[in-house]
Amino acid sequence: MVTIKEVAKRAGVSASTVSRTLSGKIPVNEETRQKVLQAINELNYHPNILAQGLKDGKSKTLGLIIPNVRNLVFPAAIRGIEDTAKKHGYTVVLCNTDEDIDTEKFYIDNLRRRLIDGFILSTARPGHEYLLDLKKEGFPMVFLNRQLGEDVDTVVVDNFKGAYDATKYMISRGLKNIALINGCMDIYLYRQRFDGYKKALEEASIPLKEELIVHEVYGWEDGYQAMKNLLEKNLKIDGVFATSDPKAVGALRAIKDFGLKVPEDISVMGFDNSDIAPFLEPPLTTVSQPFYDMGVKACERLVKIIEAKRKPKAKVEVLPVELVVRKSVI
Amino acid sequence: MVTIKEVAKRAGVSASTVSRTLSGKIPVNEETRQKVLQAINELNYHPNILAQGLKDGKSKTLGLIIPNVRNLVFPAAIRGIEDTAKKHGYTVVLCNTDEDIDTEKFYIDNLRRRLIDGFILSTARPGHEYLLDLKKEGFPMVFLNRQLGEDVDTVVVDNFKGAYDATKYMISRGLKNIALINGCMDIYLYRQRFDGYKKALEEASIPLKEELIVHEVYGWEDGYQAMKNLLEKNLKIDGVFATSDPKAVGALRAIKDFGLKVPEDISVMGFDNSDIAPFLEPPLTTVSQPFYDMGVKACERLVKIIEAKRKPKAKVEVLPVELVVRKSVI
DNA sequence: CTGAAAGCGCTTACAG
DNA sequence: CTGAAAGCGCTTACAG
C-alpha cells in the first residue's frame, strides 16, 4: 500500500502537510494543497485507518455482541446496524456468545485490545452486571433488545404492551384457555411479556392457570417440545401465545403433528414478526418489532456517544410495537 | 489500557524483554521471565493487537462479504466462519453488499486500509473479475458458495448433483411437468442447478418446456410472484423445483393462496435445507447444503493461506449435498 | 540472554 | 502556512 511518505515525496512536501490537507482541520496553502491532492490521486493513496487511530486509540470499529446469528430476530437488526455504521465510517465485528458469559467476556476483552470504539450488546441479563462497570469506566456501549437498568443507553421495544395487546386480541376473539410459551424469566423482556399476558387476562377476569404456562423455552425445537408436552397433558387449550416467532414456529408444527388444526382447534400468536411470519401456514398473527430500525437507532446512538465531547446521559429508548393480524388466530 | 512500558518498568526490564517473553519465540532467562509474567499478571496487561500488527501489516481480522445477512442461507455459514476465526485468534467484520459491485469495492478498499488479513466472499459473479487481480496481488481470499474460475480458493457444494438428484427424485415420484424457479443464470451455481435439472429430465426423456422455466428469481417475495405467474397461465404443472429454500417458501405460499394443495396438486422441492425447512407446511423436501461446515472450511482455508510462508495453490473444494425427503413432494 | 534504537504509518504539538 | 520531531504501542534486527 502507498504510504503518506511516498505521497509527501511526490508532492515535494512533508508528511505533515499531506496529513493536514487530508484532515482539512488545519489550513494549507491552496497551491500546495493542489499538489498534494494530485499526488494522492496519482498514487491512489488511501491512508491506513489503523495507523490513523493508533495515536488517539480509536479504530473506527464497533463490536456487535449477540447470542447467535442463527436466531431469526437478529439478521434484520444486524443489517440496520451495519448500514448505519457504514454511513458513519465504522466497520462492525460480529460476535456470537450463545449466552455464555465467558465467551462474552472473551470478546469484550479481545475487542478492547483492538481499540474497539464501542459495543452494541444483545446479551444483557442478570449476572452481566460487570457490563455496567465497563460503562462507568466511560466505555461507549448500547444495549439492544435486552436491558439492565437505566444506566446504559438502551434500545428496546414496548414488550409489555406488545404482549398485552396480543393477549387481549386473543381474548377478544373468544379464546379463554390461552397457554403461554415463554422464554427465560430472568431476561427482562420475557418478564415484561409475561406481565402483559397476565394483565390482559386479569382485565378480562380470566384466572391465570399455572399449568398452561411454560417458561425457559428457547427457539423452535424447544417451542415444539413445549407445545407437545402441553398437548399431551390433555389440558383444555384453545390458544397459545408464544413469546417469540421461533417458539411459535415450533408450536405450530407440534399442533399440526398432534393432528389439530390452527386456528380452528388452537390459535397461535407469535411475537417478532420475523421475515418468515407471513409465509408460515397459516400466516402467523404476531407482534411486529422494528428490528431494522432498532439496529439503526442503536448504532446511531452508539456513534453519537463515541463522537461526543461530553458523554450524554444514558437513555432508554422504547420503540412501539404493532399487532399484525394474519391467520393463525381464529 | 496498560502498556508494555508499564509492565517493563514494574518488572525492571526493557520493553523488548516483555515482548519477547510474550512471543516466546526468543529465549528469555527463566528468572526474568517469571518477573515479567508476574508484572503482567499484577497489571492485568493485554497487548494491543493493532499495535502488534502495525509492524508487519497484519490485523488479525477477516472480512466477510455477502449479499445480505437476511438471506436465510447465510447465518449458519457465518456462524461456522466466526467460530473458526475465533479459534485462530481472528475477528470477523461483516459486510453486506446487496450484490452491488460498488458497495463491494468500497468494502474491500476500506478493509484493506484497515490491514485486513483476508477475505471470504460470497458475491463472486461475472463482472467481479477484478477480484482475481486482488488475488494475483497475493491478497488472501476465498470464495464461498459462489465461484469464478479455478484461480481462487473456493468452497462450494455439488450444485449440479444436488439439482440432478432433486429432479430425478421428483420424476421418480411420477411427476412429469416440473416447473423450475431458478435464480440469476449469471451466477454459476444457478447455472449448475439448471444443468442438473435439464440432465435429469433428459435422462427420463421428458422434454424441457421453456414455459415452465423462470430464471432471475431472488428470495421469497420473488418466488411467490414467479409461482403466481406460472399458476395464472394455467399451464399443466404437477411439481416445481425452486432452486433455493426462500424461493420454495414463496412458491408454497403462492400455491396455497391459489387454492391448490401441496403436494397433492403440486409438489414443491427446495434447495438449501435452511433451518426453517422442517417447520414449513408441509415440511419441505429439499437439498441439504452443509452451510456451517462450508463456513468452517472456508475460514480454515483462509487462515491457512494467511499464515502460510509460501502461498499454496488455489483449490476448489466441492462438498457433497444430500436430498432430504420430507413431505412437500408427493 | 538483554537493552537501546529504529521502525510500522500516521498525527499533532512545537518552532519558525 | 510548513517542516522536523516526538509519539501512539508494539516488534525486531543490531550490539553487546
The per-residue DSSP string of B64-79 comes to: EEES-TTSTTHHHHHH
Whether A249 is in a domain gets the answer: yes
For residue A256, the model assigns a pLDDT of 94
Whether B330 is in a domain gets the answer: no
When divided into structural domains, chain B yields a total of: 3
A219 vs B contacts (CB less than 8 Å): none
CA of B46 to C1' of D1 (A): 42
- Do both B120 and B149 map to the same domain? yes
Protein side of the strand D interface (CB < 7 A): A 12-17, 20, 26-29, 31-33, 51, 54-55, 57; B 1-5, 15-16, 18-20, 22-23, 25, 45, 47-48, 51-52, 54-56
Classify the C-alpha dihedral A2-A7-A8-A10 as positive or negative.
Answer: positive
Whether A215 is in a domain gets the answer: yes
Give me the tens of pLDDT residue by residue for chain A, a chain 330 residues long.
889 999 999 999 999 999 999 988 888 898 899 999 999 999 989 898 888 888 888 899 999 999 999 999 999 999 999 999 999 999 999 999 999 999 999 999 999 989 899 999 999 999 999 999 888 888 999 999 999 999 999 999 999 999 999 999 999 999 999 999 999 999 999 999 999 999 999 999 999 999 999 999 999 999 999 999 999 999 999 999 999 999 999 999 999 999 999 999 999 999 999 999 999 999 999 999 999 999 999 999 999 999 987 888 999 999 999 999 999 999
Instruction: Assess whether A4 (CB) lies less than 7 A from strand C.
Output: yes
Sequence-separated contacts (24+) of B96-101 with Cβ below 8 Å: B96/A79, B96/A82, B96/A83, B96/B66, B96/B67, B96/B68, B96/B69, B97/B65, B97/B66, B97/B67, B97/B68, B97/B123, B98/B67, B98/B68, B99/B67, B99/B123, B99/B125, B101/B127, B101/B128
A55 in contact with B at a CB cutoff of 8 Å?
no
Please answer yes or no on whether B252 and A279 come within 8 Å at the CB atom: yes
**pLDDT, mean of each 10-residue run, chain B (330 residues):** 90 92 87 91 89 85 96 95 96 96 94 93 94 89 95 97 98 97 96 98 96 95 96 95 97 95 96 94 96 98 90 94 97
A contact residues 149-188, partner B, Cβ 8 Å cutoff: none
Whether B328 is in a domain gets the answer: no
Domain that holds residue B69: 58-156+291-319
What CATH number should be reported for the domain holding residue A184? 3.40.50.2300
Please answer yes or no on whether B1 and A250 come within 8 Å at the CB atom: no
Whether B63 is in a domain gets the answer: yes
Closest in A50, A256, A280 to B115, CB measured: A50
Min Cα separation A4/chain B (Å): 13
Whether A329 is in a domain gets the answer: no
Q: What angle do CA B71, B72, B76 make, to 5 degrees?
A: 115
For residue B27, the model assigns a pLDDT of 86
Min Cα separation A318/chain B (Å): 24
The answer for A98, left when phi > 0, alpha when psi is -120 to 50, beta otherwise, is left
- Do both A281 and A183 map to the same domain? yes
Please answer yes or no on whether A280 and B275 come within 8 Å at the CB atom: no
Q: Which residue of B has its CA nearest to A139?
A: B1
Q: What is the 3-state secondary structure (H, E, C) of chain A?
A: CCCHHHHHHHHCCCHHHHHHHHHCCCCCCHHHHHHHHHHHHHHCCCCCHHHHHHHHCCCCEEEEEECCCCCCCHHHHHHHHHHHHHHCCCEEEEEECCCCHHHHHHHHHHHHCCCCCEEEECCCCCCCCHHHHHHHCCCCEEEECCCCCCCCEEEEECHHHHHHHHHHHHHHCCCCCEEEECCCCCCHHHHHHHHHHHHHHHHCCCCCCHHHEECCCCHHHHHHHHHHHHHHCCCCCCEEEECCHHHHHHHHHHHHHCCCCCCCCCEEECCECCCCHHHCCCCCEEEECCHHHHHHHHHHHHHHHHHCCCCCCCCEEEECCEEECCCCCC
A94 vs B contacts (CB less than 8 Å): 78, 82, 92-94
- Do both B249 and B296 map to the same domain? no
Min Cα separation B75/chain A (Å): 5
For residue B137, the model assigns a pLDDT of 83
Q: How far apart are CA B213 and CA B235, in angstroms?
A: 11
Please give the distance of CA B284 from its chain centroid, rounded to a whole number: 22
- Do both A201 and A137 map to the same domain? no
Closest in B83, B113, B279 to A46, CB measured: B113
B contact residues 248-287, partner A, Cβ 8 Å cutoff: 249-250, 252-253, 256, 275-276, 278-281
Q: Which residue of A has its CA nearest to B69?
A: A75
Question: Which residues of A in 32-91 have their CB below 7 Å from strand C's atoms?
Answer: 45-48, 51-52, 54-56
Please answer yes or no on whether B61 and A93 come within 8 Å at the CB atom: yes
Min Cα separation B214/chain A (Å): 21
Q: How far apart are CA B205 and CA B176, in angstroms?
A: 10
For residue A308, the model assigns a pLDDT of 87
Give the Cβ contact number of residue B179 at 10 Å: 25
- Do both A278 and A316 map to the same domain? no
For residue A280, the model assigns a pLDDT of 93
For residue A188, the model assigns a pLDDT of 95
- Do both B263 and B303 map to the same domain? no
Q: How far apart are CA A52 and CA A48, in angstroms?
A: 6
CA of A37 to C1' of D4 (A): 22
Whether B81 is in a domain gets the answer: yes
pTM of structure: 0.93
Q: How many residues does chain A have?
A: 330
For residue A70, the model assigns a pLDDT of 95
Please give the distance of CA B182 from its chain centroid, rounded to a whole number: 19
Residue pair A69/B69 in contact by the 8 Å Cβ criterion: yes
- Do both B171 and B77 map to the same domain? no
Please answer yes or no on whether A220 and B275 come within 8 Å at the CB atom: yes
Residue pair B260/B232 in contact by the 8 Å Cβ criterion: no
A283 vs B contacts (CB less than 8 Å): 253
Whether A325 is in a domain gets the answer: no
- Do both B126 and B111 map to the same domain? yes
B91 in contact with A at a CB cutoff of 8 Å?
yes
The answer for A130, left when phi > 0, alpha when psi is -120 to 50, beta otherwise, is alpha
B contact residues 193-232, partner A, Cβ 8 Å cutoff: 220
Position A128: which residue type? H
- Do both A305 and A200 map to the same domain? no
What CATH number should be reported for the domain holding residue A42? 1.10.260.40
- Do both B143 and B178 map to the same domain? no
- Do both A165 and A268 map to the same domain? yes
- From the list B104, B128, B74, the residue with the least C-alpha distance to B244 is B74
- Taking only the tens place, the pLDDT of each residue in B142-164 is 999 999 999 999 999 999 999 99
Min Cα separation B17/chain A (Å): 20
Please answer yes or no on whether A75 and B76 come within 8 Å at the CB atom: no
- Do both B141 and B180 map to the same domain? no
